[in-house]
Amino acid sequence: MQSNEIMKYDVVLVGSGFGSLTAAALLVKKGLKVCVLEQAAYPGGCASSFKRKGYCFESGATTMVGLDEHMPLRYLLDETGIEVPLRKLDVPMQVHLPDGQTLTRYTKLSDWIAEAERVFGTYNQRPFWEHCYRLSREVWRTSLQQRNFPFSSIKDLLRSALQVKPAQISLLPAAFRTMEDLLRKYDLLQNKLFADFVNEQLLITAQNHMQEVNELFGATALCYTLYSNYYVNGGLINLVKPVVQYIESNGSEVLYRQEVEQVIPTTEGYTVYTSKDKFESRFLISGIPLNNTLQLFKDKQLLQKLQKYVFPSEKLNGAFTMGLVLEHAPPQEVLHHQVHVPEGLPQIGSKSIFISFSHPADITRAAAGETVVSISTHVKDPAKNYITDKEQIEEAVIKLLDEKKIIKRESIKYKQAATPGAWLFWTKRAFGMVGGYPQYRHLKPWQMKDARLDHKGAYLCGDTVYPGQGIVGVCLSGVIAVHKLTQDHL
């Protein structure tokens, strides 16, 4: 039952995913009073952690980059002074290939190229990776310089033109080429082991394969292990909590169990209804998926205008996830692993599994001598591919990891698994989607939905808006939403 009190703010933000929290923190720094409304009992959305049986499991994301120079998370922490309990990883990841080789993804470019040449052969590996790394560095540098992109007004275009640099113009051709084109350019398509590796790595960060991912995003996605990677002590909830504390300590609010049911534009801004309360604000930022956001508005004209940006289930990915607790397992030197499954997992056909271990020195997620493990794999078209036998997939995953000697079956103390249906129940995200909108070749960067939702006072951030991929992407989406709101109204 709703209370009679109407709470008024400068900005109401829907959802407490990391894009929303980034935007809220930056707005608070500008002196605005904001309120973040979260339907769950804890903040962070897909970049958070939850407790079960006394252990701390990751809700979704398990890896973190973005603290290097010219990167969005670095910008957020520098702007606000927020501090996060981090451990820098010496080695970001290992990949277990179908031919039995283990490939180590080193952070230093020269070390990584030497490793790639050892596993895939020396032919054209060096020029391919040097090209990708150069491109990725320029993409990150440009991302914070060109916050008016993608353009959705003449002013955006003019402001960007005044800031444009020759290096930024050089990025344009890469938006028209796919990663498949890039492998063809370096005559690497015929190297099946390498092509399969690229495809499964792209799936982690771009949510699609080389035929669909453009070179601009694909090169950046492939190079995320070449930047500083971090582990957050206590789980990613401890990336989120300091941001929440910053928001609350500066006179604003983050409210839980407040699922937004409707947004009504008014002459003075927006009225936001939840099952409990009513809120009024001058501006609104939605950090939930575009699919969910549009359900909040009853304006048929707005819905029709934005429908072309909405992805149906068949273009999205869900996830099958598992959480394990291991006891008496040897400490992991490398925390993140990808395992190729060329024959595909039963029922869902996924051809790779991603595994993340808690840090051996982190005893806040599990007791000393115990390890928390997060496992995930993609489920295409989650609305259609309903999982009928969860135990069959669990067994296939455990058997594979045992055979690869990544975990020992006998060390498993506790296990749980979840399907896209469970993800939908927990997060309310349409179809239980993960990773946001995948990259598709027919959608150029400037054709993706930008931060302006209704071109009045409502904005969008998160993983279904440009750029919106992973924690670093949704952080950037929050930065861009604040930038456009500020230029439009403040």
Taking only the tens place, the pLDDT of each residue in 15-52 is 999 999 999 999 999 999 999 999 999 999 999 998 99
- Dihedral in degrees, nearest 10, Cα atoms 367, 370, 376, 382: -60
Whether 135 shows a pLDDT value over 60: the answer reads yes
Q: What is the mean pLDDT of residues 390-394?
A: 95
d(CA 207, CA 24): 27
pLDDT of 60 strictly over 90: no
**Per residue in 241-255, pLDDT tens?**
999 999 999 999 999
**Contact, 349 vs 394, CB < 8 A?**
no
| Cα–Cα distance, 242 to 252 (Å, whole number) | 14
149 closest CA partner among 166, 136, 168, 133: 168
Please report the DSSP string for 274-318 in residue order: ESS-EEEEEEEEE-S-HHHHHTT---HHHHHHHGGGPPPGGG-EE
What count of other Cβ atoms lies within 10 Å of the Cβ of residue 359?
A: 19
Cα dihedral across residues 448, 453, 458, 461: positive or negative: negative
Measure CA 28 to chain center: 23
What is the spatial distance between Cα 44 and Cα 38, in angstroms, rounded to a whole number? 9
The stretch 305-331 carries a mean pLDDT of: 94
**Can you tell me the distance from the alpha carbon of 407 to that of 143, in angstroms, rounded to the nearest whole number?**
39
**Angle of helix 18-29 versus helix 470-489 axis, rounded to 10:** 40
Q: Which two tokens stand for residue 285?
A: 């930022």
Place of tokens 């909405």: 310
Q: Is 254 helix (H, G, I), strand (E, B) or coil?
A: strand
Q: What angle do CA 361, 365, 368 make, to 5 degrees?
A: 50
Of 298, 297, 300, 301, residue with least CA distance to 284: 297
Mean pLDDT score, 60-71:
91
Cα separation, 242 vs 234, in Å, equals 13
> Token pair 């504390």 is at which residue?
245
* Structure confidence by residue, pLDDT tens digits, 151-177: 888 988 898 888 888 888 888 899 999
Can you name the residues that pair with 338 across neighbouring β-strands?
A: 95, 354
Question: Three-class SS of residue 324?
Answer: strand
pLDDT at 3: 54
- Tokens linked to 239: 């990336």
The CA-based angle 36-40-45, given to 5 degrees, is 70
Asked if residues 298 and 262 have their Cβ atoms less than 8 Å apart, the reply is yes
Backbone torsions φ then ψ of 453, nearest 5 degrees = -90, -50
Contact assessment for residue 194 and residue 98, using Cβ atoms and an 8 Å cutoff: no
Query: Which two tokens mark 267?
Result: 């002459």
Tell me: pLDDT of 468 over 60: yes
pLDDT at position 4: 59
Q: How does pLDDT run across 199-242, given as a tens digit for each residue?
A: 999 999 899 999 999 999 999 999 999 999 999 999 999 999 99
In the block, which residue shows the tokens 């560095």? 137
Rounded to 5 degrees, φ, ψ at 169 are -65, -35
Structure tokens at 443: 């959608």
Please identify which residue in the block is written with the tokens 């809120």: 279
Percent of the chain scoring above 70 in pLDDT: 99
- For the segment 339-360, what is each residue's pLDDT rounded down to a tens digit? 999 999 999 999 999 999 999 9
Q: Round to whole Å and give the CA distance between 280 and 269.
A: 7
Question: Residue 125 corresponds to which tokens in the numbers above?
Answer: 């590996």
Give CA–CA dist 424/252, Å, rounded.
29
Q: Is 474 exposed, middle or buried (0-12, 13-18, 19+ CB in 10 A)?
A: buried
> Residue written as tokens 């029709």?
304
What's the rounded Cα separation, in Å, for the pair 136 and 179? 13
